[in-house]
Structure 1
Amino acid sequence: MFRYRIIYAKVGPARYISHLDLLRVFDRSARRAGLPVAYTQGFNPHPKMTFAAPLSVGTAGEAEYADMELARDIDPAVVKSALAGAMPQGLRLIEVDRTPEAAASLMALVERATYSARAELASPLRDEVLARAIDSFLARPQIIIERQGKAGAKKEYDIRPGIFAMSGCVNNDIIKIKAELKTGSSGNVRFEELLAAFLKESRLPLRGRLSLTRTGLLFRGAEQG
């Protein structure tokens, strides 16, 4: 088998595709493009595709990662061209390259993620007021949020250890908030959880909903900016 690592953007209408549906979309697109997708053996074969840390429905992604295995060796440029022409609106291929079949899984490699949120302000806000609110929020020894488990029971988590950086700026009536958070196979911090906790404490004058984007994924061993 031959493994290909795909970097793609998930924007516009595609940001509402769930993580579970994403596999089906890639599988259908690859078959429509005539690519020889490799499948698992057994009674219920499925395509040999894996994705990096899942995105929440409604969050866009500027540089997402997926691994796809093909049954025969094809030039990555040909794979990219064929697959790009079969993708639905909002899924855009950025790069396709070969990767060793024995390479570590994407979920094992991904360690951090960078995010950006944007919203309109209901009233004026100065940059220094926003900066003080962020500093006060990050100064807390614990930031406790609630998550609902698979059994339906809610459980408390401290997300403060997984917040590596957070900043914000104001441009006229637009506020932008950026963060670098723990992600991967354990200790994940969800951007929407961070924002909910921050907005509850800061009571910033927002109008409407925040638009969320994951701007990048950082692999283990990569330099952190």
Structure 2
Amino acid sequence: MKVRIKFSKTGSMKFIGHLDVMRYFQKAFRRCEINVSYSQGFNRHQVMSFAQPLGVGLTSEGEYLDAQLESSESSEEMIEKINHVITDEIQVLSFKLLPEDSKPAMSLVACADYRVELKDNYEAVEDFEIRFYDFYHQDTIEIEKKSKKSSTIMDIKPLIYEYKFEQEGLFLKVAAGSVNNLKPDLIMEAFYQFLGKELSPFSYQYHRIDLYAQKEDRFISLDDFGVNMKEGLSGEL
């Protein structure tokens, strides 16, 4: 059976990289004796995959792990079992059974929500909302995107689907996934370039709220693809 686990990543765990998070869950599954499926061959490993790696330093309440199990208890029991053996700074929020023909979360991701908050002891931009409005309503928002081998100038405006100001900070809905992937810190870098200011890499906290797939003209949370299990199930059923 295929399951999708939604989890949060907060506190000091934001400094743990993607590969370490993967190993963390592998050990947690063994510790609480989850009946996870293993690959075949010489170097057998647990069958699991993540929707999209979260950058080091970012926090999140919308991370996703897909796993294949041989059997499972109810969703409520599985959440309690996993959370019992892991830190409070990584917590399972939902545990859902997926349809047998469901695609991996990593292939579905098309959009992400983020919240951007100014950290304490950093100077706020004067008239932030007005200046960000002017920034967003340019015809184009061009920025240099660098890789290990090259750099390109790209227009990121089409990849910003929505923005709004909330009490907690700046909300952003942006393109995400393997084809187009816009990180919130790149938007803030472009914004500070627009202001003629230098952005400190540590001045803002970036928090991922959720990940979405695209279905026709709307976005659907990856959490909505599965269903809660009220009773335990066996993969042989």
TM > 0.5 between the two? yes
Q: Could you list the runs of 5+ residues in structure 2 that have no partner in the other structure?
A: 221-237
Count of equivalent residues: 216
Aligned sequence identity (%)? 25
Aligned to 1:212: 206
SS at structure 2 position matched to 1:112 = strand
Change (3 A) 1:217 1:124: closer
Conserved 8 A contact 1:51-1:67: yes
Does 1:43 pair with 2:37? no
Aligned to 2:19: 20
- State which of 178, 182, 198 in structure 1 corresponds to 2:175: 182
Deviation at 1:223, TM superposition (A): 4.3
Aligned to 2:159: 162
Spell out, residue by residue over 1:93-121, the C-alpha distance to the aligned partner (whole angstroms, 9 max, x if none).
11111112320111222221111111145
Q: TM-score, normalised by structure 1?
A: 0.84
Conserved 8 A contact 1:49-1:68: yes
Deviation at 1:124, TM superposition (A): 7.7
Does 1:144 pair with 2:150? no
Q: TM-score, normalised by structure 2?
A: 0.80
Conserved 8 A contact 1:134-1:166: no
Deviation at 1:179, TM superposition (A): 0.8
Which portions of structure 1, spanning 4 or more consecutive aligned residues, are displaced by more than 3 angstroms?
A: 203-208, 222-225
Aligned to 2:192: 199
Deviation at 1:27, TM superposition (A): 0.5
SS at structure 2 position matched to 1:216 = strand
Conserved 8 A contact 2:112-2:210: yes
Aligned to 2:71: 72
Conserved 8 A contact 2:192-2:199: no
SS at structure 2 position matched to 1:220 = strand
Q: CA RMSD in A?
A: 2.6
1:58-97 correspondence to structure 2 within 5 Å: 58-97=57-96
Deviation at 1:37, TM superposition (A): 1.7
